[in-house]
Structure 1
């Protein structure tokens, strides 16, 4: 079998920047905490743990004083920075510039909506770190939607401003936008009161057509990603729609012989949170299986 790793897959610049900041800090020794998994990939989290990066949750953060804490690429709400001041925490801020810019846009839109009796709606995964940071710009008054049923909480007789989590599917965002426009029409409103902002990161959205082409070029496609990755789920749906012989795996230990029966070419790709070293390990795992009939 011919095994090819997708040259366009792997870390986006935001994740790469955060991991480099963590490794640079760890190189100086001492303890470094990270608020949440630095990346939604279990294998990479374990690798950095061996270097000394300790993942903590928000409750643990409140108990820390006088130490260093890494803010990952997903960004954080304002209350995290306030807590850091109270507890004398030194923040190593690796927030993605794209996320920070979106946080500022959401904050500005929220301030404006307060004067217009409007609502901020975020298309994103409830509980996701980036979504929590965005909602924090609104005092947690933004409405989070993922499904059509979630739209029931929106008052479409009032102005609505829509944003998207940066790592969501472009197709999913525009489907949600269309559903909201239909709800506005049903409520007797006009689209003049609806401001839809496609705030999906272009490093993410540009990968969708690239992955579709890559998936069509191979008999079997292995999509390598952490199962908690929102971006991974979105991109795998693109791959699977093009090539039904696509498989979502976390590592080479999940490979199954029967997947490759009769396959001449195998493509390996991944999410923006998937390290290149992990895709290489999967490739080596496939190659070690030898020729299958």
Structure 2
């Protein structure tokens, strides 16, 4: 059995930067809070909690004073910064630069749409940390769209400016763009640039993984996709693998691997989401190697 880890998988630079900031801060601080899971991977969250990182929610943030709180790569809405000032909280801001730039673009577009009686629409998962940060730039007026039924929230007689959560599927974004265009045409009989402005704000480090991952999935007989179950990016990238290789399996860690999936002569590819640590994929690889001898015996 040949086992390979996809060289393009693992943390994006935003997540890697946030984890490095947390680890550096914990070397000199006896207590560091993190607003939400630093990454959508329970194994990594557990590792960092053992080092002293304490995960809190927004309600708990309101009760804190005179301490340090890490803002993860997903970014935060303006109200978080206001709370920090009021409660004398030092923020260790690890917001991803790509997300911060998008927040600024959304705020600028929102100010423009307010003057034109228009709407900001965000393609993303309602309640996702990044989306909370984005809607916060719009006084919570942005319309979050994930499925076709969500389109009912949009008034197609008014101007629409569309953005995307940075980790969403490129294919999904352009499908949504086409549907909105069609609905505006049906409503107004014509589509012009004043009616609709679509901004592909998906992170290219994320979107470029889709074709790379599709090639990797084709090159191997079986794919073990490692990701936290909370990861939106993980779910999207797993579907890329599944779309080109039916023998693709989603696991959170090595304990979820079923030997029945494997044959001794398989080429096995291990890959993961932008929130999957390399050490976890290496752990999965080690486990697969330990299973190899039993597979050979069974097949003989």
Unaligned runs of 5+ in 1: none
Counterpart secondary structure, 1:81? helix
1:73 aligns with 2:73: yes
Greater shift, 87-96 or 26-35, is seen at: 26-35
Q: Distance in 2 between matches of 1:32 and 1:163?
A: 33
Q: Distance in 1 between matches of 2:47 and 2:191?
A: 52
The one-character-per-residue Cα deviations of 1:112-147 (angstroms, maximum 9, x if unpaired) are 001111000000000000000000000010000001
The one-character-per-residue Cα deviations of 1:71-125 (angstroms, maximum 9, x if unpaired) are 0000000000000000000000000000000000000000000111100000000
Q: Distance in 2 between matches of 1:35 and 1:126?
A: 18
Task: Indicate if the aligned counterparts of 1:224 and 1:251 stay in contact, CA closer than 8 A.
Answer: yes
**1:90 corresponds to:** 90
Q: Distance in 2 between matches of 1:194 and 1:76?
A: 27
**1:103 corresponds to:** 103
The one-character-per-residue Cα deviations of 1:170-204 (angstroms, maximum 9, x if unpaired) are 00101111111111111125232100000000000
**2:191 corresponds to:** 190
Per-residue deviation, 1:263: 4.5
Q: Distance in 1 between matches of 2:265 and 2:229?
A: 26
Per-residue deviation, 1:264: 1.9
1:49 to 1:116, Cα distance in 2 relative to 1, 3 A: same
Task: Indicate if the aligned counterparts of 2:66 and 2:87 stay in contact, CA closer than 8 A.
Answer: yes
**1:47 corresponds to:** 47
Q: Distance in 2 between matches of 1:63 and 1:117?
A: 38
Per-residue deviation, 1:217: 0.5
Per-residue deviation, 1:258: 0.5
Q: How many residues align?
A: 293
Please give the root-mean-square deviation of Cα atoms over the aligned residues, in Å.
0.8
Which of the residues 204, 215, 219 maps onto 2:206? 204
Greater shift, 231-240 or 256-265, is seen at: 256-265
Q: Distance in 2 between matches of 1:259 and 1:67?
A: 49
Unaligned runs of 5+ in 2: none
1:287 aligns with 2:289: yes
Counterpart secondary structure, 1:258? helix
The one-character-per-residue Cα deviations of 1:149-188 (angstroms, maximum 9, x if unpaired) are 1000100010000000000000010111111111111112
**1:260 corresponds to:** 262
Q: Distance in 2 between matches of 1:286 and 1:13?
A: 28
Task: Indicate if the aligned counterparts of 2:21 and 2:94 stay in contact, CA closer than 8 A.
Answer: yes
The one-character-per-residue Cα deviations of 1:244-285 (angstroms, maximum 9, x if unpaired) are 100010000101001103652100000000000000000011
Counterpart secondary structure, 2:3? strand
Q: Distance in 2 between matches of 1:271 and 1:165?
A: 16
Task: Indicate if the aligned counterparts of 1:122 and 1:145 stay in contact, CA closer than 8 A.
Answer: yes
Task: Indicate if the aligned counterparts of 1:184 and 1:191 stay in contact, CA closer than 8 A.
Answer: no
Q: Distance in 1 between matches of 2:116 and 2:242?
A: 43
Q: Distance in 2 between matches of 1:263 and 1:167?
A: 35
Per-residue deviation, 1:39: 0.2
Per-residue deviation, 1:148: 0.8
The one-character-per-residue Cα deviations of 1:189-246 (angstroms, maximum 9, x if unpaired) are 5232100000000000000000000000001100000000011011111011010100
What's the TM-score once normalised by structure 2's chain length?
A: 0.96
Counterpart secondary structure, 2:162? strand
